[in-house]
Chain A
């Protein structure tokens, strides 16, 4: 994994775990790698991984069970929440960029529909 060194690495580690959940590589209740394993795998400072894990516990994304390791919390709606969060970020950026290109709300909606159609036809 390549980090953007202009952003705190612990935040990027949290995003990485979230993506693993969204892409179903990690499921609800799954054990996440130990801090040491992940530090070695991502080639980052173990203290940074520790901070990411502590933050994930505060966000109620993961929980640590003493002597067993850290697990993705068993919460049915977690996947939906994360999908919603990531979609929100994408949409917000998309709308801001479109506005900066000079499109108004109606035009943006129109273009989205048009491109949805185009994509469907491409797939056919």
Chain B
């Protein structure tokens, strides 16, 4: 579904992604793992056109990144991108106005499940609540591809559980793809089909998580430690 061909991205003298070629299959939950600064977020940003590669090409469903691909991608950025003065309902209406795949029933169900109130003002709620609000807006669309950039970072354990539960609950198996970047590997052990470890802008290891567990008799956390031993990022 997602194809990167020789993609390089630099910021000044820093190389964020270094000649990366990869094929990411459809219908799976894929973890993009790696320490801070390894190039994970840059990869996601390029999939929605926020960063452009210096070299190489990116195709999603055979198309170049543009208006067409954006219409079926739901992107949750790491930063607080919601207007702070809006209520959750206003933010929802705002997102709804851009996308045809907005699902009002799903939105209402998720508001309840995530224990949010549409009248809550975004700047007045806790960080955990804002994280849940971002998730609400990403998952209220029937998007073919969902990109979650560090959805768990800096969030308390109960809210993390709720976020994981939401992903499992609303994921349309086989039909939808979810890419998650995180360094909270332990939290996502149970939900990933495939994993891509990024190290200094390159792919250090990729594969099916269950196969990797079987071959290496190790958990993702242990595999990650192996991949990044002697790392000096």
Contacts and interface: CB of A to CB of B under 8 A. Distances in A.
Interface string B66-92: 000000000000000000000000000
Interface string B164-206: 1100110101100000000000000111110000000000000
A40 B218 CA distance: 24
A34 to B, nearest CB: 12
Contacts of B169: 40
A3 B213 CA distance: 12
Contacts of B221: 5
Given A43-B165, A47-B174, A8 B219 contact: no
A8 B211 CA distance: 7
Pick the most buried of A42, A45, A47, A51: most chain B CB atoms within 10 A of its CB. Answer: A45
Nearest to B190: A44
Interface string B124-154: 0000000000000000000000000000000
Given A5-B221, A6-B219, A6-B222, A43 B213 contact: no
Contact of B168 (A7, A8, A10, A46): A46
B220 interface: yes
Interface residues of A, number: 20
Consensus secondary structure, chain A interface: helix
Interface of A: 3-10, 35, 39-40, 42-48, 50-51
Given A6-B218, A45-B192, A40 B168 contact: yes
Contacts of A10: 210
Contacts of A47: 27-29, 173-174, 193
B28 to A, nearest CB: 7
Contact of A46 (B161, B171, B192, B222): B171
Contacts of B219: 4-6
A106 B192 CA distance: 48
Contacts of A6: 213, 217-219, 222
Given A39-B168, A45-B192, A8 B213 contact: yes
Contacts of B220: 5
